[in-house]
Structure 1
Amino acid sequence: MQFGIAFPASPAARDDVAAAEALGFSHAWLDDSQMLFSDPYISLALCAERTSTIRLGVGVTNPASRIAPSTANSIATVNKLAPGRTMLGIGTGNTARRTLGMPAARLSALEDHVRIVRALLAGETTEYTEGDRTRDIRFLSDGDRWIDLKTPIPTYIAGSGPKVLELAGRMADGVILFGTVDPDLIAMALKRVRIGAEQAGRDPDSLSIMCMTAFCLTEPGESLESARVRSMVGPFVSSCANIFALSTSDPAFFPDHLRRDILAFRDIFVTPDGPVRSRHLELYGGYAVALRDDVAPLVTERMIRATTLTGTSSEIAASVAAMEEAGIDMVAIRPVIDHRETMETFSREIIRG
């Protein structure tokens, strides 16, 4: 099992990522959410200058924030600074899109974006369409001075719903899952990844599977529903469970023992009576870094255990072992309250424990 870290993109992330490298984390992922955080590629460039071994990736971008040639150019530029350490995560942009009051990107747009990016990063000529114009494109410089196309950049597709997970199986080098700690959630997701891989004639076991989650080491006798625990993992639980709930119209997709809890999150970022032009401005304030009071009751012990690594050291170690047995190759934790303390605790108790 490999262990990574996930942060909001920020110029200050360079210090946290450098600390993560020293603490034994192998991967670092930075968000791409333009209405909430900093630009991820600038942040990754700063991280590259401060580190030497940790792998650096966008976790995750989407087809609507940038055109595919720009995405390819940006990550290839980071690859020039950190060759062999660069990764690209792409999804439908639930957060980046909904903070604009817009829907997540369509599956067809994600597929086309991934196709173009992968072809350009491979140094190939590929088809690119805008409106009614279709053109052949490729990087026109020799690449050595400006970007690095010689060192492969693995592409991960992030998904929670069945169709995106199948697409990941068909196209990606790796898959990013959110909050799939419970064995039944892992099985739910990997079943769809396997279907997609087999449809494309690929070996499902060749894909790298990463789970992004939150972490909280409980104090002796502390309830998982305590205010401290909820403050540390609640923002992640609410965001990933909401994405789960919106990822499919078929409730049967979710495990029986978690279905009702997941579906309870379907409407937490919806205000039907609010003004369409501006309701998202209130709904997404503090998103992913704070837990709304009205959402806290939905962050139950069952959902915390199902989607995060929370509990005693031995409980968390057992969860990590079960995740590895179920097919997860990497766990990336997302600190909320105190990045440095969270990383140090995880490193001491889990990575080096």
Structure 2
Amino acid sequence: MKYGVTLLPTSFESLRKHVRLAEAVGFDYIGIADSQSLFRELFVSLTVAATETTRVHLGPSVTNPLTRHPAVTASAIASLQELSEGRAFLGIGTGDSAILNLGLRPARMRALREYVTTVRSMLNGETVEYLGREGHVRWSRDPVPIMMSAEGPRTLRMAGEIADRVMVHTGLTREVLDDTVEHIRAGEIDGGKAAGNSEIWAFAKCNIGDDRNAAIDEIKMALAASAHHAFRFTLEGKHVPEELHEALMAIQGEYVPAEHEQVGDTRNAALSDELGVTDYLADRFAVVGTPGECREKVRQIVASGVDVLQITAISHDPAEIIRRFGEEIIAR
């Protein structure tokens, strides 16, 4: 298995430090979050990351169909592909904090499908119709791997059908991952691809410490963010115990998009304790705890057929998560 890390570009000074460290300790991929209202601009940040590294692959983790026209996205990622000498990938999802902080709703599946297929055609230099108008990126000729973020059964199946890679944010337990992979493989067959053609990435919130409870406590806002995103449309087919349905749906109404993934004493950080779901969310969505506990969780993820484990480094000291994961997980 290979490893990636998603970074939140809160400053260019910290971004430079973190991408250099991630490459040095053995990560294979670096993703940059796209949330224009909260963090530095995505493709400026990716350019900084490309110029500070030589080996790791880089891309949005993830962008959306609403804030960028497909020609803008295709031109931007093709430019990154050229600048990085072939190290770019393009992650696309329905939208999270980037669109919620503009008062918009996540993209529908049909819109996401059209966006992904349009961007792919434009990356091949084709002229294509989008929303009734023709567009193109004439100079682009170098295909970039397209990764779709997916949670629900239908979206997972569509991702298997049309994407090169699928970033799954369904959860990290064996039952959930086995079901997730099954949906993706079914989608590959729908798309006329060989089963196993799509690379599977598991998305995990992460913190490594000497005490599991303390490590969880520092990333409670990230656990709430995972619950808010993964369960926002429906709980159907998502393997959630019935006794937790009410609490997890309550997060949908209580979550504060303007505080998305913000470290500290925020409303989002308090939600999981108030609703009694902290342990459940940590087990389902995180690689968190002591180095030994984290290594065991990674072994379980590997056994489910995941190709890439993409962690987040969100805490008071993101560099410590990056360093410890590299030295105590990847190196072993």
Secondary structure at the counterpart of residue 3 of structure 2: strand
- Alpha-carbon deviation of 1:181? 1.4
Which amino acid in 1 is paired with 2:220? G
Mapped partners of 1:309, 1:262: distance in 2: 23
The match for 1:344 is: 323
The match for 2:173 is: 182
Which amino acid in 2 is paired with 1:235? M
TM-score (norm. length: structure 1): 0.86
- Alpha-carbon deviation of 1:303? 2.2
**How is 1:119-134 mapped onto 2 (pairs within 5 angstroms)?**
119-129=121-131, 133-134=132-133
- Alpha-carbon deviation of 1:125? 2.7
Match of 1:317 among 295, 298, 307: 295
Secondary structure at the counterpart of residue 18 of structure 1: helix
Relative to structure 1, the CA distance from residue 259 to residue 171 in structure 2 (aligned partners, 3 Å threshold; closer, same or farther) is farther
The match for 2:228 is: 242
Secondary structure at the counterpart of residue 6 of structure 1: strand
Mapped partners of 1:330, 1:191: distance in 2: 17
Mapped partners of 2:170, 2:294: distance in 1: 14
Relative to structure 1, the CA distance from residue 165 to residue 128 in structure 2 (aligned partners, 3 Å threshold; closer, same or farther) is same
Relative to structure 1, the CA distance from residue 54 to residue 260 in structure 2 (aligned partners, 3 Å threshold; closer, same or farther) is farther
- Alpha-carbon deviation of 1:155? 0.2
- Alpha-carbon deviation of 1:234? 1.5
Moved more, 333-342 or 119-128: 119-128
Residue 285 (str. 1) matches residue 258 (str. 2): yes
Relative to structure 1, the CA distance from residue 108 to residue 75 in structure 2 (aligned partners, 3 Å threshold; closer, same or farther) is same
Mapped partners of 1:114, 1:191: distance in 2: 22
The match for 2:137 is: 139
Mapped partners of 2:50, 2:209: distance in 1: 33
Mapped partners of 2:29, 2:19: distance in 1: 9
The match for 2:4 is: 4
* Sequence identity percentage: 27
The match for 2:305 is: 327
The match for 1:275 is: none
**How is 1:288-307 mapped onto 2 (pairs within 5 angstroms)?**
288-290=261-263, 291-297=268-274, 298-307=276-285
- Alpha-carbon deviation of 1:179? 5.8
Which amino acid in 2 is paired with 1:240? S
More helix by share: 2
- Alpha-carbon deviation of 1:239? 1.1
Mapped partners of 1:5, 1:117: distance in 2: 24
Structure 1, unaligned runs of 5 or more: 272-279
CA contact (8 A) 1:197 1:203 kept: yes
**How is 1:210-289 mapped onto 2 (pairs within 5 angstroms)?**
210-219=201-210, 222=211, 224=212, 226=213, 228-248=214-234, 250=236, 253-255=237-239, 258-261=241-244, 264-270=247-253, 283-289=256-262
Q: Considering only aligned residues, what root-mean-square deviation do their CA atoms show, in Å?
A: 2.0
Secondary structure at the counterpart of residue 182 of structure 2: helix
Mapped partners of 1:134, 1:172: distance in 2: 24
Secondary structure at the counterpart of residue 86 of structure 1: coil
- Alpha-carbon deviation of 1:154? 0.4
Q: Map Cα deviations across residues 290-341 of structure 1 (whole Å, 9 max, x no partner).
A: 3432443344223212211123323322221221121211111111211111
Which amino acid in 2 is paired with 1:149? R
Residue 163 (str. 1) matches residue 127 (str. 2): no
Secondary structure at the counterpart of residue 89 of structure 2: strand
Mapped partners of 1:304, 1:255: distance in 2: 15
**How is 1:72-91 mapped onto 2 (pairs within 5 angstroms)?**
72-91=74-93
- Alpha-carbon deviation of 1:5? 0.7
Relative to structure 1, the CA distance from residue 294 to residue 244 in structure 2 (aligned partners, 3 Å threshold; closer, same or farther) is closer
Mapped partners of 1:230, 1:236: distance in 2: 10
Q: Map Cα deviations across residues 15-59 of structure 1 (whole Å, 9 max, x no partner).
A: 211111011111000011122111110000011111100110101
Which amino acid in 2 is paired with 1:214? K
The match for 1:62 is: 64
Match of 2:141 among 149, 168, 176: 149
Q: Map Cα deviations across residues 92-127 of structure 1 (whole Å, 9 max, x no partner).
A: 002222222221111111111101100111222322
Which amino acid in 1 is paired with 2:331? R
Question: How many residues end up aligned between the 2 structures?
Answer: 324
- Alpha-carbon deviation of 1:259? 4.9
The match for 1:18 is: 20
Moved more, 312-321 or 166-175: 312-321
Structure 2, unaligned runs of 5 or more: none
Mapped partners of 1:6, 1:113: distance in 2: 23
**Structure with greater Cα Rg:** 1
Mapped partners of 1:176, 1:87: distance in 2: 12
CA contact (8 A) 2:94 2:108 kept: yes
Mapped partners of 1:336, 1:17: distance in 2: 14
CA contact (8 A) 1:245 1:262 kept: no
TM-score (norm. length: structure 2): 0.91
